Amino acid sequence: MEIVLRASITFLFLLALTRGLRRRTLADMAPFEMILLVVVGDVVQQGVTQEDMSLTGAVLAVSTIAAWVSALSYLTWRFRRVADVVDGLPVLLLRDGEPIEAAMASERLPMAELLEAARQEGIGDLATVKAAVLMPIGRISLIQ
């Protein structure tokens, strides 16, 4: 029972932590951020299972986290408000070619990343962009 409780608390902590971190896709992560993910995974495992190295402990921990993921998946599908809290909302970064500095600052998104997203879409000048939206998954969507 202790492993289930530890896994639940860890899951909820990681959920809160990821909501507070910057939105990024896996492909956009720096090498250090990828290493940090691996280290966090190891630290979390130690915190969840402690000294229990048994197969039963591992199955309990994984099952608990899988149950939380399934429950949140259902709740975000069923209730829009839950999805807004868990997944986040899109953020308007640019309107009619003008960056919205407050939104970019709150998302800690440098102008260079917005320009890079525009270049990847074949857009050379932000003045031609009607809107740029940071999606909850970390991708920047540009509308001309």
pLDDT tens per residue, range 51-107: 777 888 888 888 998 999 999 999 989 999 998 888 888 999 999 989 999 999 988
Instruction: Verify that 69 and 96 share a domain, yes or no.
Output: no
Q: State whether 77 and 113 are in the same domain.
A: no
| pLDDT of amino acid 87 | 82
Residues 80 and 20 in one domain: yes
C-beta neighbour count of 97 within 10 angstroms: 13
82 versus 28: which is more confidently predicted?
82
Q: pLDDT at residue 36 above 80?
A: no
The verdict on 113 and 70 lying in the same domain is: no
Cβ atoms of 84 and 92 within 8 Å: the answer is no
Which letter, b or e, does each residue of 72-83 get, where b requires 16 or more Cβ atoms within 10 Å of its Cβ? beeebeeeeeeb
Q: Look at strands 140-143 and 91-95 and give their pairing.
A: unpaired
Are both 15 and 81 inside the same structural domain?
A: yes
**CATH code of the domain covering residue 99:** 3.30.240.20
Place of tokens 């993910």: 37
Residues 18 and 75 in one domain: yes
Burial classification of residue 118, based on how many CB atoms lie within 10 Å of its CB (0-12 exposed, 13-18 middle, 19 or more buried): buried
Residue 28: what pLDDT? Answer: 66
pLDDT mean across residues, the chain: 85
25 pLDDT higher than 70: no
- Is pTM beyond 0.85 here? no
Residues 81 and 95 in one domain: no
Whole domain around residue 39: which residue ranges? 2-87
| CB contact at 8 A, 91 and 85 | no
Residue pair 25/117 in contact by the 8 Å Cβ criterion: no
* pLDDT at residue number 95: 93
Query: Could you say which of 71, 87, 103 is where a domain stops?
Result: 87
**109 band by pLDDT with thresholds 50, 70 and 90:** confident
User: Are 132 and 100 in the same domain?
Assistant: yes
Of the candidates 70, 69, 84, 77, the one whose C-alpha atom is nearest the C-alpha of residue 12 is: 69
